[in-house]
């Protein structure tokens, strides 16, 4: 995976410089300098709504879920084995960060990084069964996304061209909302 990491280092430096007590005007200014305005506003809105959930297991494993406008997404902040350290299960992350490589984070990852910095994640303890349920929830979400994405190609006869366009346009709107 050939993602330019320098913009991410700058983004992380700015996030790590945010005042942990409260976001200042200077913090906001710097964030809006390196992220699109809608990403910053979207991330802060998610935090305000208490939509960044941090699950911790008894053995110290941490997972995040972010309740977005189009779904609930799994966010990982330490994917050390991959070429990119973060992961979000939203379509915008795949589209803009992994494929087009013109964004460093979707709003869910930015919200999770900021909520961690500001200590405002909604914290929950997680049992092994809960962890299993979270993965099942996320994997089934991914399957739905893929089926919507491939709707036009996979369904030759029953779907009209108009319906296929609708599906693609709904998918695009969802992606735009998440970045
Ligand atoms: Zn996302």
Q: Taking CA 25 as the corner, what is the angle to CA 19 and CA 26, rounded to the nearest 5 degrees?
A: 70
Q: How far, in Å, from the CA of 133 to the mean position of ligand 1?
A: 20
26/40 Cα distance (integer angstroms): 14
Q: How far, in Å, from the CA of 166 to the mean position of ligand 1?
A: 22
Whole-number pLDDT of residue 5: 85
Packing angle, helices 6-16 and 25-34, rounded to 10: 170
Q: CA of 94: how far to CAs of 26, 103, 104, in Å?
A: 30, 10, 11
Q: How far, in Å, from the CA of 109 to the mean position of ligand 1?
A: 6
Q: How far, in Å, from the CA of 54 to the mean position of ligand 1?
A: 15
Number of H helices, E strands in the chain: 8, 5
Q: How far, in Å, from the CA of 1 to the mean position of ligand 1?
A: 18
More confident residue, 105 or 1: 105
* Neighbouring C-beta atoms of residue 160, cutoff 10 Å: 9
**pTM metric for this prediction:** 0.78
Whole-number pLDDT of residue 141: 54
Whole-number pLDDT of residue 148: 46
Span of 79-88, 147-156, 169-178 with lowest mean pLDDT:
147-156
Whole-number pLDDT of residue 33: 95
Whole-number pLDDT of residue 1: 56
Question: pLDDT grade, residue 156 (50/70/90)?
Answer: very low
Whole-number pLDDT of residue 132: 85
Whole-number pLDDT of residue 65: 96
Surrounding ion ligand 1 within 5 Å at CB are 88, 90, 93, 106, 108
Residue 104 in this model has a pLDDT that exceeds 50:
yes
Q: Which of 67-84 are b and which e, b meaning 16 or more Cβ less than 10 Å from the residue's Cβ?
A: ebebbbbbbbbeeeeeee
Q: What is the DSSP letter of 82?
A: S
Q: Which residue has the tokens 């994997």?
A: 139
Residue 142 in this model has a pLDDT that exceeds 70:
no
Long-range contacts of 97-104 (CB under 8 A, 24+ apart): 97/3, 98/1, 98/3, 101/2, 101/3, 101/4, 103/36, 103/39, 103/179, 104/7, 104/8, 104/11, 104/34, 104/35
* Neighbouring C-beta atoms of residue 91, cutoff 10 Å: 25
Per-residue pLDDT reduced to its tens digit, 14-68: 999 999 998 999 999 999 999 999 999 999 999 999 999 999 988 888 999 999 9
Q: How far, in Å, from the CA of 108 to the mean position of ligand 1?
A: 4
Per-residue pLDDT reduced to its tens digit, 66-95: 999 889 999 999 887 677 899 999 999 999
């Amino acid at each position: 995976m050939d993602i330019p990491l320098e913009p991410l280092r700058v983004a992380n430096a700015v996030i790590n410089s945010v005042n942990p007590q409260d976001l200042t005007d200077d913090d906001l200014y710097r964030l809006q300098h390196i992220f699109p305005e809608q990403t910053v506003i979207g991330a802060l809105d998610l935090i305000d709504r208490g939509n960044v959930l941090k699950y911790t297991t008894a053995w110290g494993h941490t997972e995040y879920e972010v309740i977005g406008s189009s779904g609930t997404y799994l966010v990982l902040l330490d994917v050390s084995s991959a070429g990119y350290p973060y992961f979000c299960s939203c379509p915008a992350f795949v589209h803009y960060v992994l494929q087009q490589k013109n964004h460093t984070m979707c709003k869910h990852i930015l919200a999770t990084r900021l909520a961690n910095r500001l200590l405002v994640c909604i914290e929950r303890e997680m049992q092994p069964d809960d962890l299993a349920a979270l993965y099942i929830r996320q994997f089934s979400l991914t399957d739905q996304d893929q089926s919507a994405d491939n709707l036009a190609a996979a369904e030759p006869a029953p779907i009209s061209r108009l319906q296929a366009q609708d599906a693609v346009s709904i998918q695009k709107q969802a992606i735009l909302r998440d970045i």
